[in-house]
Amino acid sequence: MATGVSICSNALLMLGSQTINDFADQLNLDRAKLCANLYPTVRDDILRAHPWNCAIKRVVLAPDAVAPAFGYHHAFEMPADLLRVLEVGTGGCQIDYLVEGRSIQADTTVLELRYVFRNEVESTWDSNLVAVVTQAMCAVLAYPITQSTAKQAGEEQKLEMMLRRARAADGQEDPPQTLGDERLLAARFGSQG
């Protein structure tokens, strides 16, 4: 079962270094601190980079009490765990919106939001995501652990290849997206046979 510590330990092993027992490991304090400092940023960056199926949530938001000064009629506070907005709509249809600061502005009174969230429960991650984050940690730890820019460059190159493969596999689990309202398209281009 994957954890942040196991991911970091595996990255350290890949670099030929000793593992850590936790992020406050007193016997390996330098490596533990390094991992504790870098891991949250790396995790969030990889989660944000792609709509991983294991890191997607849906919520319905109510508008804030204070409306924007101009432009849109309502503002909606983003969830605290939001890393990336995927879809904004109402009644199942996409709507015009603007992300500004930590709010979404729109001309609706109810906002349906689909987003990438900060999934901190690594045991719920897809195995490809675990592998990619492990490789990402390997890439960011490469220079501090080995003092080799060549090793760092090689690990970054491996990361890019793994990320492409993992994104493709994750994306293949999703059904094809439709364009617009299917009823409208059927009426316009209906059975032409």
pLDDT digits (tens, 9 = 90+) for 27-64: 999 999 999 999 999 999 999 999 999 999 999 999 99
CA distance 86 to 26: 41
Q: Are residues 44 and 124 in the same domain?
A: yes
Q: What pLDDT shows up at residue 193? A: 47
Q: Are residues 41 and 64 in the same domain?
A: no
Torsion (CA) 45, 48, 49, 50 in degrees, nearest 10: 140
Residue 189 lies in a domain: no
Q: Are residues 48 and 138 in the same domain?
A: yes
Phi and psi for 83 in degrees, rounded to 5?
-110, -30
Residue 184 lies in a domain: no
Q: Does the pLDDT of residue 180 top 70, yes or no?
A: no
Q: What pLDDT shows up at residue 48? A: 96
Q: Does the pLDDT of residue 23 top 50, yes or no?
A: yes
Q: Are residues 112 and 74 in the same domain?
A: yes
Residue 66 lies in a domain: yes
Q: What pLDDT shows up at residue 120? A: 98
Q: Are residues 46 and 126 in the same domain?
A: yes
Structural domains of the chain, count: 2
Q: Which residues contact 18 (CB under 8 A, 6 or more apart)?
A: 12, 28, 31
pLDDT tier, 91 (very low <50, low <70, confident <90, very high otherwise): confident
State pTM to two decimals.
Answer: 0.84
Residue 187 lies in a domain: no
Q: Are residues 40 and 66 in the same domain?
A: no
> Per-residue b/e over 49-85, b at no fewer than 16 CB within 10 Å?
ebbbeebeeeeebebeeeeeeeebebbbebeeebbbe
Q: What pLDDT shows up at residue 175? A: 63
Q: What pLDDT shows up at residue 172? A: 76
Q: Are residues 107 and 140 in the same domain?
A: no
Per-residue tokens: 86: 């995927």
Q: Are residues 68 and 104 in the same domain?
A: yes
Structural domain including 135 reads 4-52+120-171
Q: Does the pLDDT of residue 188 top 60, yes or no?
A: no
Count other C-beta atoms under 10 Å from residue 191's C-beta: 5
Q: Are residues 143 and 128 in the same domain?
A: yes
Using a pLDDT cut of 90, give the percent of the chain over it: 82
Using a pLDDT cut of 70, give the percent of the chain over it: 89
Q: Are residues 104 and 23 in the same domain?
A: no
Q: Are residues 83 and 135 in the same domain?
A: no
pLDDT digits (tens, 9 = 90+) for 102-136: 999 999 999 999 999 999 999 999 999 999 999 99
Q: Are residues 45 and 135 in the same domain?
A: yes
Distances in whole angstroms, Cα of residue 130 to Cα of each of 4, 8, 122, 147 = 9, 11, 7, 25
